[in-house]
Amino acid sequence: MLNFALRRLPLRARKRGRHVTFGLLPLSFIPSFAHADGTAVDVTLPSVTVTASAPTQQATIDPDLPATVETVTPAQFQNWNVVNSEDVLQYMPNLAVRKRFIGDLNSIIAVRGTSNTQSARGLVYADGLLLSNLLGNSFSFPPEWSMVSPDEIEQVSVIYGPYSAAYPGNSLGATVLITTRMPTKFEVGADVKGFTQHFNQFGVNGNFNGSEVSASIGDKIGQFSYLLDVNHLENTSQPLQFGTLAKSSTPAKVTDTPVTGAYFYNNQTNTPTAVLGVNGEGIEHSINDQFKLKMQYDFTPTLQGGFTLGYWHHSYNSETSTFLRDANGNPVYSGNVNIGGYEYSIPEAEFAPSSGFSENWLYGVTLKTRNPTGWNAEAIASYYDISNSVARTANSGAPGNGPGTVTYGDGTGWKTLDLKTTYTPASPAAGLANHALTFGYHYDNYFLDNTTYNTLNWQDSSGSTFANAFSGKTQTQAVYAQDAWRFLPRWKLVYGVRYEDWQAYDGSEAVAGTRLPYSDVSDQHFSPKASLSFDVSDDLTLRASVARAYRFPTVSELFQGQINGSSIINNNPNLKPENDLSKELTAEWAHWNGLMRFTLFEDDVKNTIFSQTDTTVVPNVTNFQNIGEVRSRGVETSYQGEDVVVRGLDLMASLAYTQSKILENAQNPATVGKYFYRIPLWRADLVASYRIDDRSTVTAGVHYSGRQYNTLTNTDTNPDVFGGTSSYTVASVKYMFRPSKLSEIAIGIDNLFDERYFVYHPYPGRTFYVEGKLRI
């Protein structure tokens, strides 16, 4: 899949070129050195831009990054079933995205020893603008993927681990860098997709459908360029959650309502369980509308400014339903019922529906110089504003406009500022020939304000009485320095340090008019980094990296909880930051028409922040706590190649083993020695694309995820059911045909064999895609 201009170079030039221009590679970075062996002519190859269409900038990654980097481009992911921007990550080694359905907002990155609920351990940037929602650390705080359309992506690179001083401790898992394209001439494009899945489980058997329509227009006029993109996505999910009760052994009373329609199964702990209907998030119908405008202006050949305006509107309606029917066929939503001669008590809110919407704005300004060598500078400022957020939930599952609650999240968001200067050596004759320098400053401010009211009409009332509220802010300022020192012809040392000053302030909770503020807290830490690489030959590079990183608590981890009388419970404003020591040994080998990587890694995290139950106090308290120590060790292998075995066959393949265990946990001793939450022992991915001719391509892919646990005590012994977290093997296929150079049609299938698998919630069933694209 190295299908760039690199394909046209002879093999010897490819090998030498990879040390000159990183843009030639679609995978891991290979350190750049000046060789003195005299075996090749000293020719500097030109930079090659990686893109599926005419680019305006180099879609490259800093060759001095002291970490493993995996990269994909449209030349690869256009052959996959991609609807949302996070779909382009689906074949990254030892990485998965928790995506329960097309358009799911809770799409969290899981990588190495970071689970799919630890959202604050991942960073996502689009053209340097931070899209990570670091207001919390769970599936409720995913990156803002909807601010990027797949069609505007020029390249996506994943940096594994916290080895670069340029990124905060939230890079403990991975950092995703999205580069988008800008036009070089007038262009218009349109894309239409349709998709449908069939889902059959318990009392649900039906089709769930969706569609996406997008359009773009752009141009470059003199020194000014712009790209306007709009997108409309509408989809209905499969049932995401079922209402369950443990199988009863209590004989029914005469006053209990006899009902039929329940289903029975053994749950994740092998407990016999009754399934009563679709509840919780239910069957979610979501609508997403996106508008994005990007503008760039070249003030001089080496000075460029940019502006980004993004708008995203999301609305949803979660439908619930009961399977239970009384003797007259009427639905039963709550109360004491008789199922098979035994009594079950169904809570009033068991089948409560919900709905809501939010409006989100992204503002970004960039100014940077683009000198090929010497000093460069860059300034990036961004503001993400959740200007309008309303979530409504009924108190009862019964039909009608009954009482409920409404939660407002207006005024929530974050601001960032990044200033960076770099020095790139020009030649061995230059004064700093052996050093590539980076200095930077970072500022971010996250602010959260949620207020909930009781309402007599859950569907459209503004709220009648105050229920509760919580708010708070965090702020981080950081400075960093990094040097890539080539001290011998084949050796390079990348070393750096990051200093961070963090504080949380203005935290408070309120219930029934009682407001209890939190004391402000602050912390400061240095995070040193180092990486030593050796270029064994033109084709083989070895690298050893080590890094310290601190992941500071988020607003929700610190402040969100409840009030009981005059006491605050179920929160932890005294959380310590996660303290990580990461180590990595990597070998990268350019061979067999591609690039192979072998990596050993270890993440040793003290004070891991995670929601758990403190069993050492009575009564037990469940909240975010510090787990003493969690250690993750593993090995990764990956390969990307083009024209493998036969001309036209491109491959991406990876296999990873990760063992993540709890070594210390004073609040819950029963978890010590157990596997950490939702880290599969094995992950494997394989995708093969075969170019039949210049107009058509067929692709097949397979994902495998091994045994993992949904509890810290590893008591879920029956994982492949609703409520568990499955091992699974799923396959996908796609056929793409280009009737002309400006048009494209495709059909595809995900979950080809209709595997039923779970991430507590069911994943989608077999899903069919049809797509048409047109470019002018």
pLDDT digits (tens, 9 = 90+) for 325-375: 999 999 999 999 999 999 999 999 999 999 999 999 999 999 999 999 999
For the full predicted model, state whether its pTM sits above 0.75: yes
Helix (H, G, I), strand (E, B) or coil at 248: coil
Residue 593 has pLDDT above 50, yes or no: yes
The pLDDT score that the predictor gives to residue 567 is 45
Domain assignment of residue 515, given as a range: 5-179+360-775
Q: What is the CATH number of the domain that holds 413?
A: 2.40.170.20
- In angstroms, rounded to a whole number, what is the distance separating the alpha carbons of residues 551 and 498? 13
- With respect to residue 106, please indicate whether it lies within any of the assigned structural domains: yes
- With respect to residue 294, please indicate whether it lies within any of the assigned structural domains: no
* H or E, element range at 441: strand 435-455
Q: Choose the weakest-confidence range: 15-24, 214-223, 639-648, 663-672.
A: 15-24
Q: How does DSSP assign 378-433, residue by residue? A: EEEEEEEEEEEEEEEEES-SSSSS--EEEEE-TTEEEEEEEEEEEEE---TTSTTT
429's CB contacts (< 8 A; 6+ apart) are none
- With respect to residue 264, please indicate whether it lies within any of the assigned structural domains: no
Mean pLDDT to the nearest integer, 466-484: 94
- In angstroms, rounded to a whole number, what is the distance separating the alpha carbons of residues 163 and 562? 38
- With respect to residue 658, please indicate whether it lies within any of the assigned structural domains: yes
Name the pLDDT band for 429 (thresholds 50, 70, 90): low
- With respect to residue 337, please indicate whether it lies within any of the assigned structural domains: no
Mean pLDDT to the nearest integer, 93-114: 95
Q: How does DSSP assign 536-599, residue by residue? A: -SSSEEEEEEEEEEEEPPPHHHHH--EEETTEEES--TTPPPEEEEEEEEEEEEEETTEEEEEE
Query: What does DSSP say about strands 696-705 and 728-740: parallel, antiparallel, or unpaired?
Result: antiparallel
* H or E, element range at 75: helix 74-77
- With respect to residue 515, please indicate whether it lies within any of the assigned structural domains: yes
Residue 205 has pLDDT above 50, yes or no: yes
- With respect to residue 323, please indicate whether it lies within any of the assigned structural domains: no
What percent of the chain is predicted at pLDDT more than 90?
A: 81
The pLDDT score that the predictor gives to residue 38 is 38
- In angstroms, rounded to a whole number, what is the distance separating the alpha carbons of residues 79 and 649? 12
**Mean confidence (pLDDT) of the chain:** 89
259's CB contacts (< 8 A; 6+ apart) are 324, 325, 326, 332, 337, 338, 339
Neighbours of 534 (CB within 10 A): 15
Residue 716 has pLDDT above 50, yes or no: yes
Q: How far is CA 397 from CA 242, 321, 532, in A?
A: 13, 8, 60
The pLDDT score that the predictor gives to residue 54 is 34
Contact 148, 159 (CB under 8 A): no
Residue 173 has pLDDT above 90, yes or no: yes
Mean pLDDT to the nearest integer, 693-720: 96
* H or E, element range at 246: strand 242-246
* H or E, element range at 77: helix 74-77
- Give how many domains the chain has, as a whole number: 1
Residue 132 has pLDDT above 90, yes or no: yes
Q: Choose the weakest-confidence range: 52-56, 204-208, 328-332, 351-355.
A: 52-56
Mean pLDDT to the nearest integer, 85-114: 96
Residue 60 has pLDDT above 70, yes or no: no
- With respect to residue 324, please indicate whether it lies within any of the assigned structural domains: no
Neighbours of 379 (CB within 10 A): 16
Q: How far apart are the first and last CA of the chain?
A: 26
